[in-house]
Amino acid sequence: MHGISGPSPRAWAAIALPVAVALVALAVHQRPFQDPTARFRVVPGMLKDAGLPGGGTAALSGCGAPGPARPAPRGEGEQSKAPALVISSYGYSSSGPGFDGPPAFTVHTAIDPGPQPLTLTAPVGERRITVDVYGPHGEGRIASARGLTAKVMKGVKRRPVPPTSGAYRFTDAGNLDLEIELPERAVCPGHTRADIGQCTPTYTNQIEDCPVVAVTLTDKAVPAQRALVAGIKNPERFSDRLVAVSFEENAAGV
């Protein structure tokens, strides 16, 4: 009586190859990627940009780009002291009294208008805010979103503030800040919202070990404010964009 023999080594190879291809394809298309410790590296341009459910774009084609974090200026005044956008905090958290709410990665920024108040139409930065996150030690861009909108918050507990007559008035008192949420789909492969804000090593006192966050906000009121602060009647020469970068190694020489 003859036993049933298994496939030959060549047959096993023929079976294994399509299975391996299928597993690779499944891993590439899974969202989000579940192995942040592997630090899956993406070559710039390897992925395509994609629309976000709430509006805006996940700029995934920029994943892995080395920077610089600060975008090239497109007019005068982007690095002037006023008006200016300043990042006050960023990170991953869960909302709710017991931190049991939905998880989110948020960036909080403050606007320094200068000697005169700056009025921005609500919603602030509607579909005109970008957020980029760069990993430490030359890892490149690890998250990128375009076309976001900010929430205006007030106080230590950051309560939402309704606009007055369809606008917000920012003063030097600094009692308002902007909360910008980075969508999960804007995170590059090999990372999650929970890890893009972490330093490497985790317990470090060196800012170079931490990610760099860059935020831009575009509004037509910005060049007029810059012209007002500079005492110049020609706002067209000024940039309409406020830019904030969490850390620049040579900020004084930028």
pLDDT tens per residue across span 155-174: 877 899 999 999 999 998 76
The model carries a pTM of 0.81
Task: In whole angstroms, give the CA distance from residue 184 to residue 43.
Answer: 20
Which strands, in side-by-side order, build the sheet including 140-148?
A: 50-51, 57-58, 140-148, 129-135, 212-218, 241-245
Cα–chain center distance at 225: 25
3-state secondary structure 100-114: CCCEEEEEEEEEECC
CA distances for 54 relative to 127, 181, 183, 200, angstroms: 10, 11, 9, 31
Q: pLDDT higher for 89 or 3?
A: 89
Task: In whole angstroms, give the CA distance from residue 197 to residue 204.
Answer: 13
> Taking 70 as the threshold, does the pLDDT of residue 16 lie above it?
no
Strands 176-182 and 103-112, by their bridges, are antiparallel
Task: In whole angstroms, give the CA distance from residue 203 to residue 223.
Answer: 41
pLDDT tens per residue across span 112-164: 999 999 999 999 999 999 999 999 999 999 999 999 999 999 987 789 999 99
Bridge partners (DSSP) of residue 89 are 108
> Taking 50 as the threshold, does the pLDDT of residue 7 lie above it?
no
- Which pLDDT does position 22 carry in this prediction? 35
Place of tokens 């005492």: 231
Bridge partners (DSSP) of residue 121 are 167
